[in-house]
Each structure stands twice: as C-alpha cells, then as structure tokens.
Chain A
Amino acid sequence: MSIGAAVPMIDARERVTAAIRYVQDLALPGMLHAAVVRSPVAHARVVSVDAGAAREVPGVVAVVAGDDLRAHPDLAPAPTYGPQIKDQPVVALDRVRYVGDIVALVAAETPRAAEEAAALVDVIYDELPAVFDPLSALAPGAPPIHDLRPEEEQDREGTALYFDIRPQFGTNCCNLFRLRHGDVPQRLTQADVVVEETFRTPAIQHVPMEPHVALAAWEGDRLTVHTGTQTPFNVRDMLAALFGLPPEGVRILTHTLGGSYGAKVFPRIEPQAALLARVTGRPVRLALRRDEVFLTLTRHATVITIKLGLKRDGRIVAKEVHASWDTGAYADCGPNVAQKGGFGVVGPYNIPSVAVDSACVYTNLPPAGAFRGYAVTQAAWASESMMDIAADRLGIDPLEFRRRNLLREGDTFATGETLHDVRFESCLDHAAAAIDWDGGAARDFGDGRVRAKGLALVMKGMTSPSRSEARVGVGRDGRVVLASSTVEMGQGARTVLAQLAAQELDVAYDDIRIVDPDTARTPFDNRTTSSRSTFMMGNAVTRAAVGLRQQLIALAAERLEAAPADLEVIGGAVRVAGVPESAVSFGELVRGAHRQEMTETAEFRNEGGLDPDTGQGIASSHWHQGAGAVEVEVDTFTGKVTVLHAHGAVNAGKVVNRHTAALQNVGNLVFGLGSALFEEIVYDGGQATNANLSDYLIPSFMDLPAALTHDLLEKPGADMHGVGEIALPPIPAAIGNAVARAIGTRVRELPLTPERVLRAMATTTRGGNGPGEDDG
C-alpha cells in the first residue's frame, strides 16, 4: 500500500493541467463585485461618510458604511466579530484604527465600477493620537485603541475559545498570559551567571499566491459563502453570530486554497461579502488586490526580553521572559498567539524555575494573527539566540549546552505536564551532523568573507483540546468516498487522508473520491491549522475506515455464510481468506443490501488546556519537535548574508506520504530563509510602504542555499506527526546564531539585512564585545 511511499498528490493531474478549481475561479449567477473603502489614517473618529458621488457611478448598486448599520440594526444585529474578542466591526462604526481599516463597502455590476466608486467615497476623519509599537502602546498615557470592559472580556461562543483570556482593562493589553514554574527570584540568587537580552521581530506577511476571495449569497435567512478559508466551521459560527442566525443558517464551502500559511484563518473578508449580499439581495464576490492582502493580516511583530540564570556547569536554573506581541488594531487570535508563544518561548529545556509574562498588545497597525509557526518563530528567535549567548558566556559548545538542558522522555515541562514521545535530542543531533557541526568556529577567508555555522531547536504545541470527525462511505458503484472538513491548501491533506482510508479498505488511494469541506455536508473539524490534520483527522479517517470495513465484512459474512473472522478485505472486495473466487465487491455488497451507500463516521479528540494565570496544565497533547542547522557566509564589506546550507530535522513519527512530507520540510526551510534575511513590512506613520511584491521580497529560485536538506525522523510504532510548520521556526534563529559567530557580534532584530549586519559590526568595532545595540 501507499503508506510511507512517495506517491503523487491525488489531484496532481488537475493541478498541472489547471483543471483544479480555486475559489478564485468561481462565479455565481447574477453576482455583484465588491470594493473596499479603506482608511488613509491610522486612528480617527469617522465624522461623516458621503457616498453621493460614488452612488452616481454607473453600475453601482450599494454603498454601505457604519451609519447604515446604525440605521438598520437588523442588517447585522451584532456587527463586530473576532475569534477571541469581538472587537472588529464589519465596517467602521465610529472609528478607524489603522491605515487600511474598512470604512465603507461598495457593490457594483463590474469590478471596475466598484473600484471607481470606492475612490469617490468622501470620508471626513477627526484624527486621534496613534501608536505603532507594542512597548509604546503599553506605556502610561498611550492612546486607548479599544475600550475593553470586564463584562465583554470573554466570548464563550463558538469553538475557537478554549482558554481564558486576561485583558488588562484600561490598557492596550488584550491578553496577559502568565506562566509560573518554580521560584525564579530565589534561583536567580543561586546562579553563577545571569544574562539578559532583548530581541525583536517585525510584522511580515504570508503572501499566499491566491489572494483572499469570498462569494456570498442569501436565500431568505440562509447565508451561503464560498471562501478560501482554513477554518470553515469557525467562519460559519462567527458569521451566524454576526447576523443573528443559528449556526445551521450559514453554510461555508471551500475548495483547494492557493496557499494560506495562516493568512486565511478565521473570518477575513467573509463578513464584508455577506453584508453586501444582504444589503443588495444579490450574490457578491469580494476579491482582494495584493496591497489589500498586506492590510488584512500579518505575523505579530514582537519584543521579547529574556533573563537566564546559569550555573558554571552549564545548567540553566532560571528563565524570566517578558514578551509583547503586536496584534495590531484588532485582536484576532492574538490572545492565543501570546499564550502559545508564552510557553513556546520556554523552549525544549528542563528548567527548574520559569516566569513568563506574555502580553498581546493593540497598536494602530494592520491586525496580526495566525502565521505558519504560530508564535514559535518569534519566540525561538529570542530564546534560541539566548541559548547561544548563554553558551558563549559559559565557554561551552552551544550544542553541548543545549544537550545538558534538554527535555527528555518523561521529564516535566514548565507547564507541569509530563512529556512523552520526546525526540529533541535526536532532532538536534541529526541537524548538527547534517552540517558537520564544528563547535561554531568562524572561518575567515581573509578577503572579507567569513563563514560560520549555527543551530536552533524548538518545540511547538498542537491545538488542545480539539476534535476532528470524518465520514468514509462506499456507494453502489463500489467507490470509496471520503468526506471531511480538512481544507486542502497544498499540504496534500486530500492525498494523505485518502491514503489512510485506502490502507484500511485495500483500495487504490487515487480511486477515492474526496468531498470538499462544506459545513452543511461534511462533518465537523476544529480547523485546518496547528499541523494537526494528519494526526487528528488522519486518526478519525482511520477509525471511520476501520468501522466501514467491519460493516462490509459483516454484510459479506451473511452473504457468504462465513464467520467474519475468516474474511479478508482485498482490492475493493471482501472474500473468504485465501479464496479469490469467493470475493464480493463493495458495490455488490451495497447493492445487495438495497442501500444507496454505506457510511461510517468517526471522531478523534485530544484534550488539554492551561490556567491563564499560572500557565499550568496541558499545553499540548502532542508536541511538534524540530531542529535547524545552517552554514552561512557573511560578506563583511557589504554585510550581505548568504546561507550556504540549511537543514531541518523534524520528528515525523510515521510518514504517510514521503513526497508531501518532504515538501513541507523544504517549504518551511524556504519560508524561514525569507523571514531571516529580508521579509519585513515597513510602516511609516502606520502606512505600509512596501505592500507589493516588488518592494516586499519573498524567496525566489535565486535565494536558495546551495544545499537545502532535511530529515523526517521516524520510529517504528510511532504516531504520525504533523510536519506542516516545525522546520520553519528554528531557521531564523539558527541563521542569527551563525551570523553572530561569523561577525563576532549579534544582530538582535530580524530580518538580518546587510544594513543591520554592518551596523552591528560597526558597534562592535567601536565598543568592543559588549551588549549590542538594538538597531532600527
């Protein structure tokens, strides 16, 4: 069978012939096209919106602004939404909070008419003070961006919320996650060496090749939305709340996504498309331009300060962390990002005392949310840089320093949970071996070029608790049908899930028909995030397929007058073991039972949850584990960093499809290179100045290292492990560690641009090897 093999994606043919359908390719009969009027100012009261001229444009059907929602509350009875805090209005009600915030919506017969009209909407703003970085936003006297009040602090509806959040009322902190383990002050007094450093990362963008698109249509009080989303059920529930409908009143359908990487998690443009469709009574298509994609969601910019208490023998005895996550103008899932980063920043080490304060902070920038690596890339940039700094202070090889502090099988993590299936050491050793780790010595060629190597190691949780359901069936034609709400987005989910069903039913995986996510027809799944689908949905599919096999065997047992234990399932048929002529095909069994189809639905759950004030509990039922190792060359004349070799070593447990698993690792390494070396949204007064693919670079063929290698670490009998994200987070930190060894000083802020590298070197030349300045 195909499990563990390198087999092509089930839809490979459709992908190379372009027969495959993305939401971008859909049209609904009679549909209108939408355009968005966006705020040019970072923070303001909306004084007035004059749509008179816009409505005169031929083809314009409707212009909707906050006044319309106030005048007709039935349009959207609860006009704000958000997965953890309902703070984002479907269209600005009285304030705009970032450059790009939605102040009005236009629907017209053509995209051109909609765009033309949007440009004619005349908005008068009364500007308010604005703030663009999380530390300023937390300072006393900072302009309040939302006025969160205790009575609205928690939203217990829907499935997104599984942990309590702690807004700091009267400040811009929308969640303060605390983790407390052991006695940090006491341990610090016992430390031989204490080191403290601050690290920064910028906002970056996912840049899915397919921009966001949604098509919404109403039939009476029922809403249907076709949208490119990783989260069909979350979008369903949040739209239902927004429009005052029961969850079943909203139907969300999706197809394969042209990339997402977190960009299409939770409602992005679906509320706006649905509102316009409700106002106009016609289907509406809303498709974003590339510049608008940059304004729709980013990865959290961060400032993270870490203090480590060390013993001379190389043991870490205390870790104290203050982290700020810039969630922009709306919280989105930022509160959860601060939590995940709050324990992720501890790292895969056994540390007797840990104290983390992890704050999710509003600023007047575009909202930040889910992004491949989900908080761990930023956390690892700080914590894995700090591991090298600490090793150097103690004069210990950074590989050996990590080994002395590693979490091992059965150890207790800072959250109080006991870890199993622990493979950090194996990941680290494979990564180090792949680059011929040499202790981290710099090699100076004497012509301006210096080479050095670097390592990093990370742990990442998987959404806990969560639930996945799958339905596997067989019809009268004998063909196996697999229905789940796992979203295909290029990761190969359709293929891997089909392989798992095929394994139990002994059919060819590429003969299985896949039903795309449709909240009215496919069973429930939390969402396609957190590298959870292969493990969670995979197990649900396996259970459903096993159940279906048992049903088929039971039917065949009657028909063949044989004991079920004597039957076997081979090649889409059931037969008496070893007797080919007794075979009854699946189709014959279904037809013989006078059924249209036989189906089996099964679910798989995991459990967990953390106390928001102590961080104690179960952070994750299943840990993603991975290491990165690189060799870099720095041109000390220009500051340019060239990565010569990048390697990712991840725990894969049991690989289902060697092609798609390898593509995940390689893709993560390439993503990591961009994040490390050049990706950054540059804001000026809150305005994104490089919101296009000419000024915002993503890795191309020309940016690849000469060697790009990886390990998928397996173990007999191990569980399947998702590998969708885990090779990414160690890469920027590993590159940063290698660059620090090459130039003898450290850049503490991503990305590692030539300017930053040169400035760090100049600082060293002037001031010796002291604490480097954070550069800007």
Chain B
Amino acid sequence: MERSVAFRLNGEPTELTVATDATLLEVLRDACGLTSVRSTCGIGICGACTVLVDGAPLSACLLLAPLVDGATVETVEGLSGDEGALDPIQQAFVERMGFQCSYCTPGMILGTKALLTENPDPTPAEVAAYLAGNLCRCGSYPQITEAVLLAAARLREAGRAAADPSL
C-alpha cells in the first residue's frame, strides 16, 4: 500500500509517494537523502533520529511517514543559513565541543532548538530534563549542557537586539 504525502521539509514544499508503513526516518534518509536523521535504537528511546514536526521534537523512527501530511518538518540540514553560516546553536556546539562521535548531535541540536523556543533561559537542570531522551554514549553531556546555555544566552541577546534597534 502506498499513498501520497505532502509536507514542508526544511522550508521546501515536498510531495512523495510512500509505503503506508514507511517510517519518517526511512523516508527522510532513503528518499530525501537527509543523513542527519540517524537510526540507532529503532524504538524511540535514544533521540538520534529526532526531527521537528510542527516545531515539536519527535522520533522519526516511530512516526509513520503518512502522518506528516500537511506538517512542517525540520532537520539539521535546514538549520544553516545562506552561504553556510552556522545556526547559533550549531555554533555553540562547536565552541563548547558538545560532541565526540557526533552521531547524536543532530538530535541534540534539534532538541535544543525546541527547548529554547519553549524556554529561552533554561537552568542546567531544565536542560538535562528536556534532553533526557537524547542519549550520548560518548558521554559529552557536560559540554552539551554548556553549549545549550551558551546558545540560549546568545539567542536572548539577539532577541533583545532585534526588539530594541538602539542596541
């Protein structure tokens, strides 16, 4: 069984024919070539396949592709700006070295994006609680926390600057 699914992927209107039992992970990796979406546990525990669906961080391995019909889907490939400028969250991960093997990093970055949208000024404990579903076997958690806090500070600063042109 196949059906057509139309969604907005990293800003671009996308229409695909997918198997009704295909996961979003399979479709994003195999049909769309987005290798930031990574299969690790296959059961929605580890967060390595996290994508933002209408802004919410979800495990693409558990989400059937037809269910994103009409939705907005974001992956890390959509984060960098024109001419490859890094998103402030990506930049913070580089500066604080919030990764080792980096297999979990796209999921961590998207989880961070969702967190900072909900809570622009999180405490370290709030960071830990929000990202508890993103596993990093290399154990870079302290550096990831620092990266999240740095990104949060910069985004708040940018927000203030945008709100007050005199700054």
Q: Which of A22, A206, A258, A290 is B41 in contact with, Cβ under 8 Å?
A: A290
A667 interface residue per 8 A CB criterion = yes
What residues of A have a CB within 8 angstroms of the CB of B38 in the complex? 24, 209-210, 258
Which residues in chain A, 572-630, are within 8 Å of chain B measured between CB atoms?
Answer: none
Q: For the complex, what is the distance from the CA of A702 to the CA of B129, rounded to whole Å?
A: 7
* Pairwise interchain contact B43-A693, C-beta atoms closer than 8 A: yes
Given the known interface contacts A209-B40, A663-B138, A667-B138, the answer about A12 and B94 at a Cβ–Cβ threshold of 8 Å is: yes
Q: Give the docked Cα–Cα distance between A659 and B135 (Å).
A: 20
B100→A490 contact, CB < 8 A: yes
Contact mask for chain B residues 126-138; partner A; CB cutoff 8 A; 1 contact, 0 none: 0111011111111
Contact B48 A209 (CB under 8 A): yes
Q: With an 8 A cutoff between CB atoms, is B152 at the interface?
A: no
* Segment at the interface with B among A13-21, A335-343, A733-741, A749-757: A13-21
Question: Is A21 a contact of B35 with CB atoms below 8 Å?
Answer: yes
In the complex, how many angstroms separate the beta carbon of A392 from the nearest chain B beta carbon?
Answer: 32
Chain A: minimal CB distance from B38 (Å): 7
A18 and B128 within 8 A (CB): no
Taking a contact as CB atoms closer than 8 A, the residue among A8, A207, A258, A290 that contacts B95 in the complex is A8
Quick check: is B46 within 8 A (CB to CB) of the other chain?
yes
A666 within 8 A of B: yes
CA distance A477 to B103 in the complex (A): 33
Closest to B89 in A: A16
Closest A residue by C-beta to B26: A111
Q: Give the residues in chain A near B97, CB-CB below 8 Å.
A: 6, 8-9, 12, 659-660, 663
Known A16-B86, A207-B137, A702-B128; judge A290-B101 contact (CB<8 A): no
Within 8 A of B (CB), among A675-725: 692-694, 698-702, 704, 708
Whether B80 contacts A15 by the Cβ 8 Å rule is no
| Closest Cβ–Cβ distance, residue A510 to chain B (whole Å) | 11
Complex Cα distance, B99 from A660, in Å, reads 10
Give the A interface residue count (CB, 8 A). Answer: 51
Q: A8-B94, A8-B95, A259-B103 given as contacts; is B140 within 8 A of A13 (CB)?
A: no
Convert A254-277 into 0s and 1s, putting 1 for each residue whose CB lies closer than 8 angstroms to a CB of B.
Answer: 001111010000000000000000
Q: Are A489 and B101 in contact (CB under 8 A)?
A: yes
Q: Indicate if the CB atoms of A699 and B139 lie closer than 8 Å.
A: yes
Q: Which residues of B contact A211 (CB under 8 A)?
A: 39-40
CB distance from B27 to the nearest CB of A (A): 14
Q: Is the CB of A210 within 8 A of B138?
A: no
With contacts A24-B38, A670-B141, A700-B135 known, is A15 near B128, CB below 8 A?
A: no
- How far apart sit A700 and B140, CA to CA, in the bound complex (Å)? 10
Stretch binding the partner chain, chosen from B1-9, B64-72, B104-112, B158-166: B104-112
Q: Which residues of A contact B36 (CB under 8 A)?
A: 18
Number of interface residues of B (CB under 8 A): 51
Contact with B along A472-512 (1 / 0, CB 8 A): 00000000000000000111100000000000000000000
Is A666 a contact partner of B142 (Cβ separation < 8 A)?
yes
* CB-defined contacts of B145 to chain A, threshold 8 Å: 701
Is B77 part of the binding interface, using a Cβ–Cβ cutoff of 8 Å? yes
Closest residue of chain A to B107, judged by CB?
Answer: A209
Judge if A671 is at the interface, Cβ distance under 8 Å.
Answer: yes
Q: Are A693 and B45 in contact (CB under 8 A)?
A: yes
A419-437 vs B, CB cutoff 8 Å, 1 = contact: the mask equals 0000000000000000000
Asked whether, in the complex, the Cβ of A669 is within 8 Å of the Cβ of B139, the reply is: yes
Inter-subunit contact A692/B41 (CB<8 Å): yes
User: Is A20 touching B42 in the complex (CB atoms < 8 A)?
Assistant: no
The answer to whether A209 and B101 have CB atoms under 8 Å apart is yes
Q: Shortest Cβ distance from B123 into chain A, in angstroms? A: 13
For B130, the closest partner residue in chain A by CB is A701
> Is A208 engaged at the interface, CB distance under 8 Å to the other chain?
yes
Contact B143 A209 (CB under 8 A): no
Flag if B103 contacts A671 (CB, 8 Å): no
Closest to B95 in A: A8
Cβ-closest 7 pairs across A and B: A490-B101, A670-B139, A258-B103, A18-B36, A490-B100, A15-B102, A667-B139
Given contacts A660-B97, A663-B140, 12 further A-B contacts (CB under 8 A): A18-B76, A22-B35, A209-B46, A210-B103, A259-B103, A490-B99, A666-B142, A670-B139, A671-B139, A701-B129, A701-B131, A702-B132
30 contacts across the A-B interface (CB closer than 8 A): A9-B97, A15-B105, A16-B86, A16-B90, A16-B91, A16-B93, A16-B99, A17-B79, A18-B35, A18-B75, A22-B35, A206-B137, A209-B46, A211-B40, A258-B103, A261-B137, A489-B101, A490-B99, A490-B102, A490-B138, A663-B100, A663-B143, A666-B143, A667-B138, A667-B140, A692-B43, A693-B46, A694-B45, A700-B135, A701-B141
